[in-house]
A and B are shown apart, each in its own frame.
Chain A
Amino acid sequence: MKHILNVLVQDRSGVLVRVAGLFSRRGYNINSLTVGSTENPGVSCMTIVVEGDDRIIEQVTKQLHKVVEVLKINDVTKEEYVGRELLMLKVLANKEDRVEIMHLCEIFRIKIVDINKKSFIIEATGTHSKLDAVEQAFRPFGIQKMSRTGIIAMVRGDKG
């Protein structure tokens, strides 16, 4: 099962490799890893998606806690949470396709952020499955480039 771990870390050099290295060293697979700042200066949040049963996740969590810079770990998949990813894709936009592409963007409620003679850059945020759907929908037009981020997630309500 997929788990999303929000790992709060002290923002010091080397902490990313320490955390990433731990996963490969212990034989755990990272599906995605996203790092960014938080409301506290000096504290970053790593959102790590890892697959495994409860025993593996428990080990991952305990091993992560041994990294000196790790302050707090929250398995958001245990709670009600909102999770979002960002996708950008450059899609071929021939004259005859442009209207349809714009129409699709409306349906998905996503944005065109750059227009070119031959292509659009489209920006989409959403859940993993929504972005999969976006990707599928635009594939027939010809995707020239695509880049997706990992997930960031937040627990609903007062918790987390």
Chain B
Amino acid sequence: MSTLAAGKINGAQAIIACLELENVDTVFSYPGGAVLSIFEALRESKQIKNVLTRTEQGATHAASGYARASAGAKAGVCIATSGPGATNLVTGLATAYMDSIPLVAITGQVSTAMIGTDAFQEIDITGITRPIVKHSYLVTNVNDLPQVIKEAFYLATTGRPGPVLIDVPKNVADSICKAEIPGRIDLPGYKPTFKGHRLKIQNACKLLQEAKKPLIYAGGGVVSAGAEELLQNLAHRLDAPVAVTLMGKAAYPFRDGYFIGMLGIHGAPAANLAVSECDVLLAIGARFDDRVTANVAEFAKEARIIHVDVDPAEIGKNVTSEVPIVGDAAAIIEVMLEFLDPAEHTAWRAKIESWRPLHSDVYEKANTGGQLHFREVIAELNRQTKGKAIVTTDVGQHQMVAAQFYQARHRGGFISSGGLGTMGYGFPAAVGAQLAARGEQVVCITGDGSFQMTMNELATAKAHNLPIKVILSNNSNLGMVRQLQKYYVQGNYFGIDLEGNPDFAKIAEAYDMAYFRLERPEDIETTLQAALAGNRLTLVECLIAKEEMVFPMVLNGTRLTDMVVAD
């Protein structure tokens, strides 16, 4: 297999040729001295579009949004220079690591002879990022590059996906590469299990068949496996409702009555009550994260637990399961469907239905007349888009409101930083998502705190004519921290007032955006209609009261059933 012009190209050209062979069509990058020759090779590529972000952190988040909007099939790629370029990747890599998003990050490095001398813009980036990548390489021999890049994409996208970093010293990129791309990947220590153990799956099915009150708890693993339809078949076969995690928000994009919402400390009451009462819990591609379980000792206490995950280390990490199954969510559900007979759980499902209205109940009580509530904006967004927009969020109250009121109906259509909770993720992720899905409506739901962390990427969106719709909850303070201070430090509010906020109308003007200000509940419908209809980069600024809270809320150390539902 001769695919590289081996012996005629340098390392940088080999990198770009390898990216092309991995079907990369977009890279998010920021240039610098140590990656000059990589950019020189990139310039010549006809296949790869280069997107210059405004910081390297933006490049990682954009690559993440790009990967997720491509529904996990593709790795996002970002390129940064050595030193500060590389350190700016750290938050983005950690975000991708915690959420198992496939990324390949390429960094420049000082020449091999200079490594260790504290040279200009030298940093040990493989050392810094070791705990937050799935794997990393410091390439010291140019002839290793083709193999390294092939391995990197394989590692990033298979098993439990994650970020892989490739650090390339300047002289390595400049040297002539004589190696070809190896025909196959030889990683004897890396053997992700794709297919589950049949006998265990059979045992799980037996348990599910005996269940009187079964519940499915679906996480990000379902989304990255592309197992949405299979999950629907499973829910129907078992007559079991489906609760999801934040990462699994788009795991059940169907309107068929089985979806009961998100679990967790800001989860839907129906989901939290159902998990506390179910007798068999089938966790698929979820990891019993503390934001989901609250007090883990009390979580799903009545249930016998079946835990399906592609990462063996997740099994038994936070809870002990009766039937652990390691493997890809899609492959395992497929086998389950072979074994399972149709079941009916009319009484159980009716009981859950009776819990559903609790949600709006809470808000009826909390509602004050005439005031604009962000949840109403998101509920209307959900109505108008029918959940078919690709939504990205930042982190904070608006994120939980989005998770509660936006019902994602688009594959991979809910893009949020779940594990790390990275403020500043939303907008750059929207840039990546819009570039991956040009024809789709991409909406970034954000808050005034988060947005200001990375709104420099508005320039990237402007440069590429991306018609992203930003829906900004502006409550002039850090609302989620306010909420925490209210409950955990007796309302001693401190360090959360965002005084000095810019005039967002002027920000919009500066970036040539369409701008809408939303102050009154009666204007929500028409404003959103106008905003969503446009084909421009758009900002909808919603003026929200400081005091607005997100309910329900489960306080630290308590059970999911102990939801605080109003002030």
Contact = CB atoms under 8 A, between A and B. Distances in A.
B126 A67 contact: no
A66 B313 contact: yes
Interface stretch (A17-25, A27-35, A96-104, A122-130): A17-25
Contact of A10 (B127, B188, B313): B188
Given A68-B189, A68-B190, A70-B189, A62 B130 contact: no
Interface string A117-148: 00000000000000000000000000000000
Interface string B305-318: 00000011101110
Contacts of B311: 66
Given A18-B130, A21-B130, A21-B131, A59 B189 contact: no
B316 A55 contact: yes
Contacts of B317: 59
A69 B313 contact: no
Contacts of A14: 126, 130, 136, 138
A71 B311 CA distance: 17
A18 B134 CA distance: 11
Main secondary structure of the interface of A (DSSP, over half): helix
B312 A62 contact: yes
B530 interface: no
Given A10-B189, A14-B138, A21-B130, A65 B312 contact: yes
B187 interface: yes
Interface in B123-176: 126-127, 130-131, 134-136, 138, 155
B404 to A, nearest CB: 33
Contact of B188 (A21, A65, A71): A71
Interface residues of B, number: 19
Nearest to B127: A17
A71 B189 CA distance: 4
Nearest to A8: B189
Contacts of A71: 188-189
Given A18-B130, A68-B187, A62 B135 contact: no
Contacts of A70: 189
A68 B154 CA distance: 12
B316 A9 contact: no
Interface string B94-137: 00000000000000000000000000000000110011001110
B131 A25 contact: yes
Given A17-B130, A21-B130, A55-B316, 11 more contacts: A14-B126, A14-B130, A14-B138, A59-B313, A59-B316, A65-B312, A66-B311, A66-B313, A67-B189, A69-B189, A71-B189
Q: Which of B312, B313, B317 has the most CB of A within 10 A?
A: B313
Interface range, A side: 20 to 34
A79 interface: no
A65 B127 CA distance: 20
A38 interface: no
Q: Which of A9, A55, A68 has the most CB of B within 10 A?
A: A68
A62 B313 contact: yes
24 contacts: A9-B189, A10-B189, A14-B126, A14-B130, A14-B138, A17-B130, A21-B130, A25-B131, A55-B316, A58-B316, A59-B313, A59-B316, A62-B312, A62-B313, A62-B315, A63-B313, A66-B311, A67-B189, A68-B134, A68-B155, A68-B189, A69-B189, A70-B189, A71-B189
A14 B131 CA distance: 12
Contacts of B138: 13-14
A9 B315 CA distance: 23
Closest A-B pairs by Cβ, 7 of them: A62-B313, A71-B189, A68-B190, A68-B135, A25-B131, A70-B189, A62-B312
A58 B313 CA distance: 9
A21 to B, nearest CB: 5
Contacts of A17: 127, 130
Contacts of B131: 21, 25
Nearest to B311: A66
Interface string A75-109: 00000000000000000000000000000000000
A21 B135 CA distance: 13
Contacts of A68: 134-135, 155, 187, 189-190
Interface string B181-196: 0000001111000000
A17 B130 CA distance: 9
Contacts of B130: 14, 17-18, 21
A65 B193 CA distance: 12
Nearest to A66: B313
